[in-house]
């Protein structure tokens, strides 16, 4: 079942039964954060130009929402990576036949947060890296776990971290996250940007994404910022 189908099903049930749907934040559909060690291989924090990370971990609404609360992050865009420009459009990507994954582009200050810390959040609270071509109710290669590296240093950190976590048997199952070179990132449609902030009571957001932000705040309090960095403010 895709995100779109899940939302439509919830709405149909509500209409047919005449029920008012109330999903209390944090109590329904909450994912349990996995406490994991820091990356043994990482860049030291140092002043320099903004760096970019591109990650895919299921529905980009929740992934964007988490990283918008990370200290040192300056911009987070939802979008598509892995396919061509001609197919970088939501309905087309949703077919699962484009090669694209719903992704986020994160621009961050390397003095405040490291690439390894970005990945630690990714593996711990953003998604389940042991699920192949799906996350929660969302099924298809467009929801795969995928790190898109922009240089050899990012590739080295990502592959070493996956090996470290697998050897430690942190998740109980083997990590299936792909590590691929970044060829291009295509921003998603405007209505997908800042989606959680603009739609905090939307059923899917309440059930699957708000708990991720709450888990991030609890698990990484030193990296959490209360005010999210929004696309409309950073662009």
Question: Do 106 and 74 meet the contact criterion of CB atoms below 8 Å apart?
Answer: no
With respect to residue 26, please indicate whether it lies within any of the assigned structural domains: yes
Q: For residue 168, tell me if it sits in a domain.
A: yes
Identify the active-site residue in 39, 56, 59, 162: 59
Burial of 233 (0-12, 13-18, 19+ CB in 10 A): exposed
Both tokens assigned to 73? 């992050």
CA–CA distance from 178 to each of 33, 102, 147, 174, 232 (Å)?
Answer: 21, 14, 6, 12, 31
**Is there a domain that residue 174 lies in?**
yes
CATH code, 42: 3.30.1060.10
Q: Where are the beta strands (DSSP E) in the chain?
A: 51-57, 73-81, 101-108, 134-135, 138-139, 145-149, 178-181, 185-187
For the chain, the domain total comes to 1
- Residue 182: domain span: 3-220+230-234
- The pLDDT tens digits of the residues spanning 136-194 come to 899 999 999 999 999 999 999 999 999 999 999 999 999 999 999 999 999 999 999 99
Instruction: Please report where in the chains the tokens 């189908």 appear, as a residue.
Output: 5
C-alpha distances in Å from residue 128, one per residue of 57, 72, 76, 177: 8, 24, 20, 9
* pTM score of the predicted model: 0.88
Q: What is the pLDDT of residues 57-109, one digit of tens each?
A: 999 999 999 999 999 999 999 999 999 999 999 999 999 999 999 999 999 99
127 is catalytic: no
Q: Is residue 66 part of a domain?
A: yes
Residue of 104, 5, 61, 40 lying closest to 210 (CA atoms): 61
Judge whether 225 lies within some domain. Answer: no
Three-class secondary structure of residue 78 per DSSP: strand
pLDDT tens for 1-31 read: 455 554 444 333 332 334 433 333 333 454 6
């Amino acid at each position: 079942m895709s995100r779109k189908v899940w939302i439509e099903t919830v709405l149909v049930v509500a209409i047919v039964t005449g029920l008012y749907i109330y999903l209390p934040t944090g109590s329904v559909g909450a994912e349990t954060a996995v406490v994991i060690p820091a990356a043994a291989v990482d860049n030291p924090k140092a002043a320099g130009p903004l760096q970019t990370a591109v990650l895919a971990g299921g529905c980009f609404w929740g992934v964007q929402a988490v990283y918008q609360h990370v200290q040192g992050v300056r911009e987070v865009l939802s979008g598509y990576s892995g396919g061509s420009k001609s197919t970088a459009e939501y309905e087309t990507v949703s077919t699962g036949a484009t090669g694209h994954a719903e992704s986020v582009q994160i621009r961050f200050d390397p003095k405040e947060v490291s690439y390894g810390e970005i990945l630690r959040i990714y593996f711990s609270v953003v998604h389940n890296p042991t699920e192949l071509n799906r996350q929660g109710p969302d099924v298809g290669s467009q929801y795969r776990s995928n790190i898109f590296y922009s240089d050899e240093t990012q590739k080295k950190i990502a592959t070493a971290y996956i090996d470290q976590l697998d050897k430690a048997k942190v998740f109980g199952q083997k990590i299936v996250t792909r590590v691929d070179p970044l060829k291009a990132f295509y921003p998603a449609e405007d209505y997908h940007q800042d989606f959680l902030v603009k739609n905090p009571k939307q059923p899917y957001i309440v059930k699957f994404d708000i708990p991720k932000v709450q888990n991030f705040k609890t698990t990484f309090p030193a990296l959490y910022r209360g005010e999210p960095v929004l696309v409309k403010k950073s662009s």
